[in-house]
Structure 1
Amino acid sequence: MDYNTSHFPTWCPGCGDFGIWASLKAAFAKLSLPTHKLALVYGIGCSGNMSSFLKGYGFHGLHGRAIPAAAGIKMANHTLHVIVIGGDGDLLGEGLNHLVTAARANFHLTVILHNNQVYGLTTGQSSPTSLPGSKGKITPKGVIDLPLNPVSLALISGATNVIRSFAGDIPQLTKDIITSLNHPGFSLIDVLQPCVTFNKLNTYSWFRQRFKRLDSVPVTLSESLAKAEWADDSIYLGQFTKRIRPVFTDQYAFLKQKSLIQADNPRDLTKILESLK
């Protein structure tokens, strides 16, 4: 099945978004997912431009608000595979509260976090994941804030499937996306990727020199959090937790039985609409 549109990506040559785009298409193909069963919800940023390059139902909304839109789509139609595609600035800046809430509630969503430690679309400002000392247009002397760790944040927020992956390893990222799409609950994939134009520190070689892979899924939260931390010489990739607990829609009888689009009591809004004319 062809998941390409007629538009070719406009990302910079070497951008990590190409690897994520390729991995998503490969995962969809391996699962034989038809495009009418895909609901792709995009944030604002370079990653959000994928809305023009990937087939499926797409919603490109407000900055930071992709997750609540995705949650509404999933409640409305349980049969859709709902995927959020956003950057570290979008999902961990304005969208931070929505990420935490969705993980706590265990909405059945897959969130692909494009983590390049910079605001690339607006030409190089520091982001919530920028490392201390990173220089950018608004931090010419270097970032002084501590960076957010998306994996740690998702773990303590109650996410039931948390993975850290790499845009430069398409076969493994494809497997991670398949794992997440098959997981019944909230999934976060923190995809580390270079921004070849505006982040000259966290390059492909910089990442590869530090990557280590988890031997197995950690058993306890404390073990998961310990492995999630970045060290000077090591960054662990892999699945940090895999738990099963009721998804949000299963905890409400009317949502567990059917999607909102299948409701038996459709209301006639004609009078309300007429009153607004």
Structure 2
Amino acid sequence: MSVESLPVLKPNDFASDQDVRWCPGCGDYAILAQMKKVLPDLGVPRENIVFISGIGCSSRFPYYMNTYGMHSIHGRAPAVATGLKTVRPDLQVWVITGDGDGLSIGGNHLMHAIRRNMDLNIILFNNRIYGLTKGQYSPTSLLGAKTKSTPMGAIDNPLNPLSIVIGAEGTFVARTIDTNLKHMGAVLKRAAEHSGTSFVEVYQNCNVFNDGAWDYAKDRDTKEDTTLELEHGKPMIFGKNRDKGIRLNGMDPEVVQLGKGITEDDLLFHDERAPEPSLAYLLTRMRHQDGFPEPIGVFRAIESPRYDELINDQIEQAKASKGPGDLEKLFTSGDTWVVE
């Protein structure tokens, strides 16, 4: 069926008949709404879309989408999605996870899915807390965070999701914020259109167990000074008056004031297509608590060989040279033993 002959879908066509059961005010609602708004523009039939999740508040997502889906087990959504995409490369596969599900028990699965560059879309909801299990600290909780499992303050160094993804050679790496709806929609659309693994971190608020974790990046009075919207090919400028920027001092980024001899040409220009990931990694290390604006948008977007294509190419080559194969012959080939 051609794209032209597909029925015209609307956001409500992607809404399931299930009651959405997140806490009132949860940032997950905004992510769900934007996903339903973006999908009709992709021209993919609902029966060719699959949402796979692990365990956590975010992992209820497949229930609320009128597509195929699977609520899998804790941390294993990337592994399940890898298997599905390998045998059904025609499907558009989304992985929905959280900072606890994806970066603790699921960290190893996540890392290997990214390095393989499967054609998956991974959305990680980061609220710096375990929400479903009622407020324990997570792998992204800040040092000193007082939670139900760290009453004296967390003493683990927090993981930086995007630094891990860049380190695993992620080919599409982005960040957005649950309250920045237009930005989130644009990022999700670009992620879906990317060939290979797309990874999007969403700063998402848990208003019950970690309310206000991202206020500095959301508040109308501060967000222009605390966030930096990345635009390919453009200088890194931010601030309410667009009068501040980022430049390199040797290998270190620094915040500078435009004027007084400093022009846009002195600033760092964003190149999301750079094959060398060093500068993209550097951007992931810029943190509000260190006096930097935190970048949002697309950090990296490059093309690279895909595991799902390569493995299916090998299967076809094997069939061409050795035939389609016979399981019965395989089971009885080589050394065998008979147990009396």
TM-score, scaled to structure 2? 0.73
Q: Report the Cα offset of residue 74 of structure 1.
A: 0.3
Tell whether 2:262 aligns with 1:206: no
**What amino acid maps onto 2:217 in structure 1?**
F
> Aligned with 1:163: secondary structure?
strand
Q: Which consecutive unaligned segments of at least 5 residues does structure 2 have?
A: 1-8, 233-270, 318-322, 332-340
Tell whether 2:299 aligns with 1:236: no
Aligned residue pairs: how many? 266
- 2:200 — aligned with what? 189
- 1:96 — aligned with what? 107
**What amino acid maps onto 2:282 in structure 1?**
A
Tell whether 2:147 aligns with 1:136: yes
Q: 1:223 aligns with which of 250, 257, 279?
A: 279
- 1:176 — aligned with what? 187
Q: Distance in 2 between matches of 1:212 and 1:125?
A: 30
Q: Are the equivalent residues in 2 in contact too, given 1:39–1:81 (CA < 8 A)?
A: yes
Q: Are the equivalent residues in 2 in contact too, given 1:22–1:170 (CA < 8 A)?
A: no
**What amino acid maps onto 1:105 in structure 2?**
R
Higher relative contact order (Cα pairs below 8 Å, separated by 6+ residues): 1
TM-score, scaled to structure 1? 0.89
Q: CA RMSD in A?
A: 2.3
Q: 1:149 aligns with which of 151, 160, 163?
A: 160
Q: Distance in 2 between matches of 1:82 and 1:222?
A: 29
Q: Are the equivalent residues in 2 in contact too, given 1:151–1:228 (CA < 8 A)?
A: yes
Give the direction of change, closer, same or farther, for the CA distance of 1:255–1:91 in structure 2 (3 Å limit).
farther
**What amino acid maps onto 1:12 in structure 2?**
C
Give the direction of change, closer, same or farther, for the CA distance of 1:183–1:92 in structure 2 (3 Å limit).
same
Q: Which consecutive unaligned segments of at least 5 residues does structure 1 have?
A: 258-262, 272-277
Q: Distance in 2 between matches of 1:143 and 1:128?
A: 10
- 1:4 — aligned with what? 15
Q: Distance in 1 between matches of 2:57 and 2:294?
A: 24
CA offsets per residue over residues 224-274 of structure 1, 9 Å max, x none?
Answer: 1121122324211011111111100232324578xxxxx955868xx9xxx
- 2:267 — aligned with what? none
**What amino acid maps onto 1:245 in structure 2?**
S
Which contiguous aligned blocks of 4+ residues in structure 1 show a shift greater than 3 angstroms? 217-220, 254-257, 263-268
The structure having more radius of gyration, on CA atoms, is: 2
> Aligned with 2:51: secondary structure?
strand
